[in-house]
Copies of this chain bind each other. A is one copy, B any other.
Amino acid sequence: MKSAIPETGVPITPPAAGNGGDRQETSLHGEVLLRLRDYVVEGNIPEGARVPERQLCDMLGISRTPLREALKVLAAEGLIELLPNRGARVRQLSQRDLEELFDVMAGLESLAGRLACELITDEEIAAIERLHYEMYGHYLHRDMHGYFRINQQIHESIVAAARNETLKTTYANFAGRIRRVRYSANFARKRQRWGEAMREHEAILDALRRRAASELSDILFQHLRNKRSAAIDHLAEGQDAGLETKPQGD
């Protein structure tokens, strides 16, 4: 068997027992969609690898119909590619694709900041401040993992403060697309960039406190632009060195 998929599969619903989780998710195909999306996003399938439907069906314990529906949706989301008569592959992101994705993310966060300034409460800002100082602590301790976790929380808080569900959903979609590279692009050794990022975050917080929408928008865009450069650089190095974007646990 030349399977490209590691055998991590667990059937979706223990064949006929009540589904243990309280997730009221109806419809098999919806469940399949969630499962498959996570499965792809988390990098369980090698990029560009062909993914036989049958195998996924066996893995998920379903028939091809709902699976194919889910695949179509994932393709529309940009996570996978569907080649006519030749099956599905995990979409391979070129450097250009990544640049584009980062830029769109930058635009979305920039927008989020702008909108957030309109209605954000003092409490929300205070919460972000707390996250900021927590992140600063991780920075001082050189705790990369903790830093990144809080960093994401800050950005998500800003998106949440924009009070725009459509934006939030779109943001989450794009975040999912680049999640795998994001992991590997933690500019691990770029100490200098790290310091820069901290300063940028201070500027973000400052602009947010003053509700300076336009300014915050600029800062966020530039911040993400810099992140993009760091990620692309890191990735390019990694590729040159032959390092694959290996999936790594959360």
Contact = CB atoms under 8 A, between A and B. Distances in A.
Interface stretch (A146-154, A193-201, A214-222, A231-239): A214-222
A204 to B, nearest CB: 16
Nearest to A72: B69
A105 to B, nearest CB: 10
Q: 9 closest Cβ contacts across the A-B interface?
A: A107-B111, A26-B84, A100-B166, A73-B76, A69-B72, A100-B164, A214-B218, A27-B84, A76-B76
A77 interface: yes
A121 interface: no
Interface string A7-43: 0000000000000000000110110000000000000
A56 interface: no
Contacts of A85: 26-27
A-side binding surface: helix, strand, loop or mixed?
helix
- Which of A70, A77, A103 has the most chain B CB atoms inside 10 A of its CB? A103
Number of identical monomers bound together in the oligomeric complex: 2
A106 interface: yes
Nearest to A98: B166
A22 B26 CA distance: 41
What size tier do the contact residues of chain A reach?
35 or more
Given A65-B65, A72-B72, A108-B107, A167 B77 contact: no
Contacts of A112: 107
Interface string A63-90: 0010011101101111000001100000
B65 A100 contact: no
A205 interface: no
A103 B167 contact: yes
Contacts of A110: 107, 110-111, 217
Interface in A95-120: 97, 100-101, 103-104, 106-108, 110-112, 114-115
Interface string A207-232: 00000001001100100000000000
- Which of A75, A78, A170 has the most chain B CB atoms inside 10 A of its CB? A170
Contacts of A29: 72
A68 B67 CA distance: 12
Contacts of A27: 84-85
A104 B72 contact: no
